[in-house]
Amino acid sequence: MEGGFRKAFLMKKANGKEIIAKIPCRIAGPPSFTTAGEVGVLEYINKHTSIPVPRVFSWSSDNSNPVGAEYIFMEKAAGVPLCQQWGAMSEFEKLQLIKNLTKLEAQLAAIRFPAYGGLYLRAEMSGLNRPLDGDINPSQSFCIGPSCDREFYSDMSMKLNRGPWDSLSSFGMSIAQRELLRISRDSPHSQFGYYKGSVQEQTQLLEVTVELMKLLDSNKTLQGDACRPTLWHTDLHMGNIYVAPDECSRIVSLIDFQSTCVLPAFLQAQWPVFLRPPRNYDYKMGIFQPSLPADFDQLDEEGKEIALREWSQVKLAKAYEVSTYLEDRTAHNAMNVPRVFRELFIRCGQVSEVGVLPLRACLMEISENWTTLGFRGECPFSFNQAEIDAHERQFAEYQAWQEVRELAEECLDTDAEGWIAPQLDIDEKRRQNEELMALYIEKVAGERSVEEAKAMWPFIKV
């Protein structure tokens, strides 16, 4: 199989036993760290939790080996992918699976790691690292080392703080400083689709963000468990969860921990992909009963089908939230940290690629709610009315671009980089892309020129 970041091979030994061999793609990040990091996570989980993950048989993070590449030989996951069972499962079975999943996640949330970064076998980490405390690592064989996130390795010549990080502020500042270095070296992105800001604007906004990050360690909202260094599987889609074929609510293996790091709990704890609230639904945390729209009886058949599907998804999202509250209070509390803090870290790390608008929106929200968000004293930055008005106009364009991008990704079964799964027909997807773009150009003909509409479309044939 080929994923966005790795190739996986099914191999059969002479005795008939099947094993998996994995080789990372270069786009995944530094192969030595991504390989050693995945092994460290799998080995730690196998030794210190009851979470079912594949066993590692052999591995190498040095491409000078006879294979000629970094690799992992591991156990083939037991069971069948959840995606093969989900459509036939009853609502009760789905609720049972959600409960079982949150119990497994609770084991991860309970581990108190000493710092943020990648989790590695200590014998493989010769550079800067933080040994794990004896109560979570009696053998002293694991440590926290540099991050294996590919965003920190786009240019190895850049002198960056890649971890480990002992505080939330130092972690946040390293992201902002990484982006400052990127935009100082890279040529400005062409202005298409929406306003991205000049290099000077991007620099000024990131410098403000560096100063803001310095204040996070003393923010009372982010004290305690909210920013606890936490290990988490942040890519739990139905293809990464394997269940028993005769008991589909029982999880028998979780797979694909590549690039998994120890990070602040409020950045880690989140709904699995298939349990997220619908994108356009006004979902509320806490007690509320998901219901069909008031005008359900007046909708046409297609509208009723969409409303029922959305209602079902909201119920699953609420079930996950409630089960997390009951089984994993630490993760539940982390999910209830104000959304803007999570957005701050995400948007700060996207400035060199996406531009100033999402980060500026975060900073504006923080400045407007400074005391409520747990900061002390006066906010060290502000925006005048002219800047706010200009931002609102520009941000509307960004939101329009984002909606088009999400629509294209959903309709084409792809991601932001245009990756198509090997089992899909790439030529057919290219044809669909051309048709969708033509339909979009036609739809916005009264509002945008053909050139402007094409600039909004994320996948253009070059």
Based on the fold, state whether residues 299 and 320 are members of the same structural domain: yes
Based on the fold, state whether residues 292 and 242 are members of the same structural domain: yes
CATH number at residue 29: 3.30.200.20
Based on the fold, state whether residues 27 and 99 are members of the same structural domain: no
Judging by beta carbons within 10 Å of its beta carbon (0-12, 13-18, 19+), is residue 372 exposed, middle or buried? exposed
- Within 8 A by CB and 6+ apart from 174, the residues are 160, 161, 162, 163, 165
**Which of these three, 298, 320, 335, is where a domain ends?**
335
Task: Look at residue 241 and tell me if it is in a domain.
Answer: yes
Residue 113 near residue 144, CB atoms below 8 Å:
yes
Based on the fold, state whether residues 243 and 323 are members of the same structural domain: yes
Predicted local confidence at residue 322, as pLDDT? 96
Task: Look at residue 357 and tell me if it is in a domain.
Answer: no
Local structure of 252: helix, strand or coil: strand
Based on the fold, state whether residues 325 and 446 are members of the same structural domain: no
Predicted local confidence at residue 3, as pLDDT? 66
> DSSP of 88-119, one letter per residue?
G--HHHHHHHHHHHHHHHHHHHT---SSBEEE
Task: Look at residue 404 and tell me if it is in a domain.
Answer: yes
- Whole-angstrom distance, CA of residue 421 vs CA of residue 3: 7
Task: Look at residue 353 and tell me if it is in a domain.
Answer: no
Predicted local confidence at residue 462, as pLDDT? 56
Task: Look at residue 44 and tell me if it is in a domain.
Answer: yes
Q: Which domain holds residue 148?
A: 1-76+121-166
- Whole-angstrom distance, CA of residue 272 vs CA of residue 287: 20
Structure tokens at 459: 């996948």
Based on the fold, state whether residues 102 and 127 are members of the same structural domain: no
Per-residue model confidence as pLDDT tens for the chain (462 residues): 766 678 899 999 999 999 999 998 877 778 899 999 999 999 999 999 999 999 999 999 999 999 999 999 999 999 999 999 999 999 999 999 999 999 999 999 999 999 999 999 999 888 889 999 999 999 999 999 999 998 998 877 888 999 999 999 999 999 999 999 999 887 655 555 688 999 999 999 999 999 999 999 999 999 889 999 999 999 899 999 999 999 999 999 999 998 899 999 999 999 999 999 988 788 989 888 888 888 889 889 988 998 999 999 999 999 999 999 999 999 999 999 999 999 999 999 999 999 999 999 999 999 999 999 999 999 999 999 999 999 999 999 899 888 888 889 888 888 777 877 777 888 999 999 999 999 989 888 888 888 888 888 988 875
Task: Look at residue 375 and tell me if it is in a domain.
Answer: no
Based on the fold, state whether residues 146 and 66 are members of the same structural domain: yes
334-340 LR contacts (CB < 8 Å, sep 24+): 334/109, 334/225, 334/226, 334/228, 334/230, 334/265, 334/266, 334/268, 334/269, 335/266, 335/269, 335/270, 335/285, 336/285, 337/221, 337/222, 337/226, 337/266, 338/221, 338/373, 340/365, 340/366, 340/369, 340/373
- Within 8 A by CB and 6+ apart from 381, the residues are 208, 211, 212, 363, 367
Based on the fold, state whether residues 305 and 246 are members of the same structural domain: yes
Phi, then psi, of 24 in degrees rounded to 5: -75, 145
Phi, then psi, of 101 in degrees rounded to 5: -65, -45
Based on the fold, state whether residues 38 and 128 are members of the same structural domain: yes
Based on the fold, state whether residues 154 and 240 are members of the same structural domain: no
Task: Look at residue 343 and tell me if it is in a domain.
Answer: no
Residue 118 near residue 33, CB atoms below 8 Å:
yes
Based on the fold, state whether residues 426 and 323 are members of the same structural domain: no
Count of domains forming the chain: 3
Based on the fold, state whether residues 100 and 68 are members of the same structural domain: no
- Within 8 A by CB and 6+ apart from 30, the residues are 148, 150, 153, 156
Residue 356 near residue 202, CB atoms below 8 Å:
yes
Task: Look at residue 370 and tell me if it is in a domain.
Answer: no
